[in-house]
Amino acid sequence: MDDLLQRLRDRGWRLTAQRRVIAEVLDGEHIHFTADEVHARAVERLPEISRASVYNTLGELVALGEITEVTTDGRAKRYDPNAHHPHQHLVCSGCGTMRDVQITEDPIRALPEGERFGFTVSNAVVTYYGRCPDCAAAEAVAGGGTGSGQARRTA
């Protein structure tokens, strides 16, 4: 975290209060926040921080490879501070909860040459979808209902 701030300084960043607070939020709980969730937490420490600064800083951190942008479905992007340790995600289609997972195979190896069409393939994103235990339980209680509808939490 201090190392992060140092790396940023080394890259010529001005260390503003805003950037410091955003770094703190991302460091605190390493979990997948949306930009607005980051903003909400940043405001607690620095009430006048703007949405624009959060978007700017997150975008810059992504460009530097310090955090990762995760898009699941049509919802808001989430920002993943766990960027130096490559991993994939398991997402609950009921409530949106997201967990880091490690897989055993290198997915790039699963793409044969004949399926590359001359592309230079640089990375693969694997996302698993399913029901988390909570949503499964909620469904059981609801008595085999429609299977849809669920308050949308996310971590």
Partner DNA sequence: ATACTATATTGGACGAAGTCTAAGTCAAGA
Partner DNA sequence: TCTTGACTTAGACTTCGTCCAATATAGTAT
Cα 81 to Cα 114: distance, rounded to the nearest angstrom? 35
Chain positions contacting DNA, by CB under 7 A = 9, 12-19, 34-36, 46, 48-53, 55-57, 59, 74-77
Look at strands 68-70 and 88-92 and give their pairing: unpaired
- DSSP character string of 40-91: HHHHHHSTT--HHHHHHHHHHHHHTTSSEEE--SSS--EEES--SS--EEEE
Part in contact with Zn ion (CB under 5 A); list of ranges 17-25, 49-57, 85-93, 99-107: 85-93
Q: Which is nearer to a second copy, 60 or 69 (CB)?
A: 69
Answer for which of 80, 96, 139, 154 binds Mn ion (CB under 5 A) is: 80
CA 120-123-129 angle, to 5 degrees, is 135
Should residue 122 be labelled a site residue for a second copy when binding is judged by CB under 8 A?
yes
With CB under 5 to 8 Å by kind, the binding choice for 110 among a second copy, Mn ion, DNA, none is: a second copy
Judged by CB under 8 A, which stretch of 18-26, 36-44, 47-55, 111-119 contacts a second copy? 111-119
Identity of the residue, 20 or 87, whose beta carbon is nearer to Mn ion in the bound complex: 87
When the beta carbons of 42 and 135 are compared against Zn ion, the nearer one is: 135
* Contact residues for 88 (Cβ-Cβ < 8 A; gap 6+): 100, 101, 102, 103, 125, 126, 127, 128
Residues in binding contact with Zn ion, number by CB under 5 A:
5
Give the integer Cα–Cα distance in Å for 78 and 81: 10
Residue 80, contacted partner among a second copy, Zn ion, Mn ion, none, CB below 5-8 A by kind: Mn ion
Answer yes or no: are the C-beta atoms of 32 and 155 closer than 8 Å. Answer: yes
Catalog residues that contact Zn ion under the rule CB under 5 A. Answer: 92, 94-95, 132, 135
